[in-house]
Amino acid sequence: MHTLKYFYTFFCFLPFIFFIKCSDGPQIDREIEDNKFPNDWFFNQRAYPTGKINYDKYYQSIKYIKELKGQAKGASFWEFAGPENIGGRLSDVEVHPENTAIIFAGTASGGIFKSNDSGSSWTPVFDDALSLSIGDIAIASSNFEIIYSGTGEANAGGGSQTYEGNGVYKSTDSGDNWSYAGLAKSRNIGRLAIHPVNPDIVYVAAMGSLFADSPDRGIYKTINGGIHWEQVLFVSDSTGGIDIVVNPASPEIVYAAMWERVRRPDRRSYGGPTSGIYRSTDSGLSWSKLTNGLPSGIDIGRIGISISASNPETVYAIYADKTGYFNGVFKTTNGGESWVQTNDGSLNACYQSYGWWFGRIKIDPVDPDIAYVIGFDLYKTSNGGSSWSNISSGTVHVDQHEIYIDPLNHNHLFLGSDGGLYTSLNGGNTWTWVNNLPITQFYTCEIDQQHPDRIYGGTQDNGTNRTLTGAVDDWQNIYGGDGFYVLVNPENTNYIYAEYQYGNLARSTNGGSSFSMAMNGISSSDRKNWNTPVVFGPANPAVLYYGSNKLYRSANHAGNWTAISNDLTNGPGGNLTYGTITSISVSPIDDDLIYVGTDDGNVWVTTQGGLEWEHISSELPDRWVTRVVADPNEEDRVYVTFSGYRWDEFLPHVFRSDNKGEIWTDISSDLPELPVNDLIVDPANNEILYLATDAGVFVSYVAGNAWELLGSNFPVVPVTDLDLHNPDRKLLAATYGRSMYSYDLYQDTVQTKITENISNDKYKVSLYPNPWLHNLTISFYTQNKEIVKLDLFDLAGNKIFSINNMNFPKGKNSFTVNSERITLKGGGTYIIRLTFGEHLVYKKVIYTAS
């Protein structure tokens, strides 16, 4: 019941993606392992084995879920569980030009948040869109009510991207409502530029898909507010638009930064000879590449550009090389005819080879000699580039993505980074963190079973975090690296386990105050997933299981480990797999009964504690296994869930076996076509299943034979993990971009749901006598020969009695149930469920105890 992750601790980092040093956390050399780039985990599990994500199916499913939410009447609700104060990545921040209390925060995977009170409170205003990944936001300078948003984050880097975007959206009421404005195949939008006088004229810099070349890359223009678009600059199917600006005094002059970028699951090339700055002097009809004084050749990477509002002949550009190292800040004062490099030697540390992750520059709207380089840190010049100074190091989260400069007070700054939003009132000399944005990207969640108010989770860019009170604003980091699985011993909470990428497991014996590595006995040569599973033995939490490409067991709180399997994968990973275990489930009934799933489609079972293993997935889809779950009440029952998308074939995502995997039954039934990330069997009633998908949580009250959306207010974002605290009946969901939510299961009892479903049906089921004392006769009509199953539940949802596989001929049929052969819990109302093939009928019956 867990997921993935990456990280930086707030106060102690060195360079962005591959090296982090924290005083109490791990020291991580994030060099790329086995050609697996950090953010490929999300893509790989959804694209395996085809190498592609079927976006048509994805958006169809999102539309279906939005319809379900719209149809919900009087539905139950999720409660936000936090955190607000950990933060997450902002890809853009924009502010009302005449009222800085109105702020728009564009997030990497959680949509757009709007504040009307200078950031004291926030409202999500973009949740009706099909994509919540934001590339850029632009406010029209001629009409502040008109705002455009480009979806799909164009930053190409590490460990944090979810789905690509589906084009452009437009608001005409200052961002409160949005309508779709086209460009579905743009996928990732680097920048929008609006005409200074006519807000219907908009330019879009489109990078296209991260993992595929595309003719849809380039610069687009609309002259009618997004009704129609024209591709006005196309360089190649591997070169997209990453930045674009319009001359505010002469809007026929447009500058576009083009970036040659090729990425595959096993390789990347982040630059080339077609990268460069292109200029149009006729509103985009024709373009020329600018070269005089600018870098050229095969080693040109990402480029950012900015034009001075007060002196439009002045343009700055920042260059990275193909690898991502800093390649210079260049300046023109004659509209691009010639360029000179600024005195920027002090900026060499700005990129740390990650220029493909940020790479923007912004000129002060009042003073063209003031400019800001937006990179790993934030640099500023006040003398036209003669010198630069770092104005963020040690005070704000690293990895800056956008800065907004108040045109009415140019010392008032708004900075968006991987850690959220920061503001400054003195030109960047000091910063204040706006610590109430609920946008954390979680990979896992965990409830302390002894103290259910204590919630834990592993996050993207922000490590392993927890709250000790259950409040949404007092979360604290307890371990570095990107946070993945985190476990709290349910019997002794001094033992806490946390993990950073590629299975680096650590243990605390003092309740999380400090951690030490817990890898003794696990071979360093083993393959380990980006998100490596580790679970408790349900009978004894001193026993833990860890999955590399082999399964390990520890009997002493992870003091040391012993392998209990050989390699359970198909061998070293290919382009889309790591060749590793992705899920472990130990039966709560028999701890010798263990299941594992792998990223290359294998499911295995042992009934002997690992002495022998049986492969049980030959009839299952060849997709990345996200969960294997042993039923807590029925020893032979097991579930398996899958990620991935179908193309031409039928692809179920959830299966159940009632005989330890010998035969599997598809129970996806009416679920949307989406990857499934986690499944929990309710220990109070194993007919009830909770399912985490890439667009919300679903519930089945009938063991997967039918599903419905759980709650009507959940944001349509990937749910990466679930946890359940049964005594309090609290279900916890970790999202990738909107922090965590909890659900009170008491508001949605089995009694209520079953009673709601009781109605007449084509089988014309009747019960008599009702109320019932000794013999209850159940009669019905069948259209054909039928195999019928009966289940009897109390109103708490507990199964009391079952009769399986009764054969009946076509026509009217009946059978009798004798109360003396059933252990009933006294008089009262019970629920009878009859199963006719795939059709379910529920009836209430009152038992009158003598």
Residues 427-446, mean pLDDT to the nearest whole number = 97
Cβ proximity of 654 and 679 under 8 Å: yes
Question: What is the average pLDDT score of the chain?
Answer: 90
Per-residue tokens: 762: 């084509």
Lowest model confidence (mean pLDDT) among 168-182, 251-265, 721-735, 741-755: 741-755
pLDDT at 160: 58
pTM over 0.95: no
> pLDDT band for position 3 (50/70/90)?
very low
Across 772-791, average pLDDT: 87
Q: What are the residues whose beta carbons fall under 8 Å from the beta carbon of 688, sequence distance 6 or more?
A: 681, 682, 699, 700, 701, 750, 797
> What is the rounded average pLDDT of the residues 317-339?
97
Say what the pLDDT of residue 74 is: 58
Q: Is the dihedral of CA 332, 333, 334, 340 positive or negative?
A: negative
Q: Tens of pLDDT along 480-496?
A: 989 999 999 999 999 99
Q: Helix, strand, or coil here: 236? A: strand
Q: Would you place residue 25 in the very low, low, confident or very high pLDDT band (cuts 50, 70, 90)?
A: very low
Q: pLDDT for 695-748, tens place per residue?
A: 999 999 889 988 999 998 999 999 999 999 988 889 999 999 999 999 998 876
Contact 5, 460 (CB under 8 A): yes
Across the range 251-269, mean pLDDT stands at: 90
Q: Given the structure tokens 């077609």, which residue do they identify?
A: 274
Residue 269, exposed/middle/buried by CB under 10 A (0-12, 13-18, 19+)? Answer: middle
Phi, psi for 776 (deg, rounded to 5): -110, 120
Q: What is the pLDDT of residue 12?
A: 30
pLDDT tens, position by position, 809-821: 988 898 888 887 7
pLDDT at 498 over 50: yes
Lowest mean per-residue pLDDT among 40-54, 123-137, 505-519: 40-54
Domain with CATH 2.60.40.2550 in the chain: 755-847
Question: For the chain, where do the domains classified as CATH 2.130.10.10 start and end?
Answer: 87-122+133-159+167-434
Question: Of 26-35, 240-249, 528-537, 675-684, where does mean pLDDT reach its minimum?
Answer: 26-35
Q: What percent of the chain has pLDDT over 70?
A: 92
Q: Is the pLDDT assigned to residue 9 strictly greater than 50? A: no
Q: How confident is the model at residue 761 (pLDDT cuts 50, 70, 90)?
A: low
- Cα separations (Å) of 10 from 22, 394, 484, 485, 772? 9, 9, 17, 20, 65
What whole-number distance in Å separates Cα of residue 734 and Cα of residue 721? 5
Residues β-bridged to residue 479: 464
Nearest to 495, CA basis, from 503, 486, 483, 504: 486
Report pLDDT for 755: 41
Question: CB burial class (10 A; 0-12, 13-18, 19+) of residue 369?
Answer: middle
- The pLDDT value recorded for residue 323 is 92
pLDDT at 240 over 90: yes
Question: Considering the domain 87-122+133-159+167-434 in this protein, what is its CATH number?
Answer: 2.130.10.10
Q: What is the pLDDT of residue 264?
A: 76
Comparing 646 with 657, which gets the higher pLDDT? 657
The residue ranking higher by pLDDT, 755 or 204, is 204
- Per the structure block, which two tokens stand in for 315? 């343009």
For 547-556, b where at least 16 C-beta lie within 10 A, e where not — what string?
Answer: bbbbbbbbee
**pLDDT recorded at residue 610:** 98
pLDDT exceeds 80 at position 33? no
CA distances from 362 to 85, 175, 312, 519, 530 (A): 28, 23, 13, 46, 35
| pLDDT computed for residue 343 by the predictor | 97
**Is the per-residue pLDDT at 1 higher than 70?**
no
Task: Assign a CATH topology to domain 755-847.
Answer: Immunoglobulin-like (2.60.40)
Q: What is the pLDDT of residue 6?
A: 27
pLDDT at 751: 42
Least confident of 6-15, 209-218, 309-318: 6-15
> What is the C-alpha separation between 329 and 306, in angstroms, rounded?
11
Q: Which residue is listed with tokens 């702020």?
A: 103
